Amino acid sequence: MPEVLLSTRQLSLTLGRERVLRDVELDVHRGRTLAILGANGAGKSLLLRVLHGLIEPDTGVVSVHGKPLDHTARARQAMVFQRPVMLRRSVQQNLDFAIRTRGIQRSRRKSGIAAALTLARLDHKRHQPARSLSGGEQQRLALARAQVAEPELLFLDEATSSLDPASTAAFEDMLGTTVAKGTTVVLVTHDRHQAARLADDIAFLHEGRVAEQGPAATLLDQPQGPELTDWLEGRLQPVSTHGADASERSTP
């Protein structure tokens, strides 16, 4: 198994009176893809935001390369949100904004943007307003924008949940190219089939704690605990109390 890139220990988070993450312990290995699965309201999106440093946990620590998550480590990460937020600019200017803010050298910007446009298959729409793109195109642009600075760790928060199958396939195809370059990916999804297609490892979250964690190949076929078994068989009900609300609140 490759070295651990990111890990959490005793991670907890409370929103209002609800403890939405409970003693989460996770290991993300370099170059691998981890899928976080769970019912609605299990705390998946919140966990992803804590891992990326967007939300401070109440207790516990997120470590990258064995050191607490700091500004330098966060600068080598990127995130694609469920609903992509496109700047009110052209496709190319959206990429240019991302690459500039990441401090990429001027000499590498042009080639970086060109490569990202090709990867996203948006060359022909480079001058079009980003907000006029279809949902699938916007999500591909969001992924291109996230990976334009070649992050070592990429977070995806239900990035394909609102896309049709063809757009999802195009997005996954693009993600495959990113993963092939060695980028470590942590993704949140509701779709067990997508997890099976994309993930090397799986963490199953139930009521804010990691109920099960292991290689995707074995875990999806032979779940150990009752929660994952129930979820895979469609018997696990979404969390309908504060946990669900908290998860929804965090979603952009």
Partner 1 sequence: MSSVAAPSASGPLQAAFKLIATADPDLIEIVTLSLKVSLSAVLFACLIGLPLGAVIGSLRFPGRALLNLILNALMGLPPVTVGLLVYLMISASGPLGIFQLLYTPAAMILAQTILITPIVAALTRDVVAAMHEEYREEFDSLLLSPIQRAIALLRDARYRLVTVALAGFGRAIAEVGAVIIVGGNINHVTRVMTTTIALETSRGNLELALALGAILLSLALVINASLMGVARIGVRTGA
Distance set, CA 187 to CA 18, 74, 77, 204, 241 (Å): 24, 17, 13, 12, 24
**88 touches partner 1 by CB under 8 A:** yes
How many residues sit in the footprint of partner 1 (CB under 8 A)? 23
Does residue 74 belong to the site contacting partner 1 (CB under 8 A)? yes
Provide the minimum distance between the beta carbon of 226 and partner 1 in the complex, in angstroms, as a whole number.
34
Of the two residues 130 and 210, which places its CB atom closer to partner 1 in the complex? Answer: 130
Residue 232 CB-density burial (10 A; 0-12 exposed, 13-18 middle, 19+ buried):
middle
Triad 80, 16, 18: Cα angle to 5°: 85
Residue 118, C-beta contacts closer than 8 angstroms, at least 6 positions apart: none
Q: Which of 1, 2, 10, 85 binds partner 1 (CB under 8 A)?
A: 85
Interface characters, 101-120, with partner 1 (x: CB under 8 A):
xx------------------
- Residue 126 interacts with partner 1 (CB under 8 A)? no
Binding test (CB under 8 A) with partner 1, winner from 26, 78, 153, 239: 78
* CA–CA gap between residue 218 and residue 187 (Å, rounded): 18
> Of 36, 46, 79, 170, which lies in the binding site for partner 1, with binding defined by CB under 8 A?
79
CB atoms within 10 A of CB 104: 16
**Residues at the interface with partner 1 (CB under 8 A):** 49, 52, 54, 71, 74-75, 77-79, 81, 85, 87-89, 97-98, 101-102, 129-132, 252
